[in-house]
Amino acid sequence: MNPLRVGIVGGAGYTAGELLRLLIRHPRVEIAAVSSTTQAGKPVAEIHRDLLGETALRFSDSLPEDPDLVFLCLGHGQSRQFLQENPLPAETAVIDLSQDFRLRQPGNTYIYGLPEAFRGDIEGARRIANPGCFATAIQLALLPLATEGRLDSAVHISAITGSTGAGQSLSETTHFSWRNNNISLYKAFNHQHLGEIRQTLADLQPDFGQPLYFLPYRGNFSRGILATVYLPWEGNLQEAREIFGAYYEDEPFVYLAPFEPELKPVVNTNHCYLHLDFQQGQLLVTSAIDNLLKGASGQAVQNMNLMFGFEETAGLGLKSGAF
């Protein structure tokens, strides 16, 4: 069987680097081209240095003429512009890792690529909008409740992310001297991922209209997201565990942890750890993921596997660093 020929656009950034690490060893994939407007002509391993000896690929300034799939690893707002300037054939599949196509609007044919909610829509699709990293961690904490119609009050969310969540481009808040030994709140109650979270919850629970109070934090570590979600709960802890257990029973990457999650066990994996607690009438759900994998490139490969009928876990047998 011929391998799937893939191209990566925006190949010098963090999410593209993670994609390369996954796809180089994927049993069904051939990387046809990695394009970059800033690094064209350079060896890929000169920028993604951990790939030295793993690939002889060089960055190009364009895609091949006949890729089966294109991953867009561009900044927000740039994917739409790229596709307008470089139209792709209808038969070429696209997975976009920016936020450009996540929200439904007239003319948007992209499927929202959260497998745990929309696996059936993703299978066989040709256009996928990969979810945001915060949005993934938070939605995985809420999907079972929305499916059961149990989101009937305000939801309170706090989540902290590593510095790679801001991307590779430098800004005042990404410099080492600012980020190190520092934690900061930003975009309180107004984060851009709230729109896609609300969209999914309304799909699963059509009468959902409760407020989401989201406090996002920048952490002083490189990668990972730890999110806590709590809301009033009229049931008991065992009932909540049964709801979550039934929903995620057959999911290959989501695990109900008997301990309070931390970041290290999920970093460098495509896993999500969820933990449930019940105190003072509040159900607390803690969610931990790697923002670059389950929150970005790992989920993109998971979506690719579903789109093309591969084993869903292919290329994603990753191992965390315990220490």
Positions marked active-site = 133
Could you identify the residue written with the tokens 């409760």?
A: 210
Q: Which residues contact 61 (CB under 8 A, 6 or more apart)?
A: 35, 36, 37, 40, 41
Residue at token pair 């993934």: 136
Q: Give the tokens for residue 209.
A: 């209209």
Task: With residue 197 as reference, give the H or E element that holds it.
Answer: helix 194-204
Q: Are strands 93-96 and 127-129 parallel, antiparallel or unpaired?
A: parallel
Of the candidates 228, 218, 321, 319, the residue with the CA atom closest to the CA atom of residue 274: 228
Q: How far is CA 230 from CA 158, 270, 309, in A?
A: 9, 24, 36
Distance of CA 62 to the CA centre of its chain: 25
CA–CA separation, 226 vs 292, rounded Å?
A: 13
- Strands across the sheet containing 272-279: 184-185, 212-218, 155-161, 225-232, 282-289, 272-279, 254-256
Q: For residues 47 and 12, is the Cβ–Cβ distance under 8 A?
A: yes
Tell me the two tokens of residue 184. Answer: 């900061």
The residues, ordered by sequence, that sit 6+ positions from 206 with a Cβ below 8 Å of its Cβ are none
How, if at all, do strands 282-289 and 225-232 pair? antiparallel
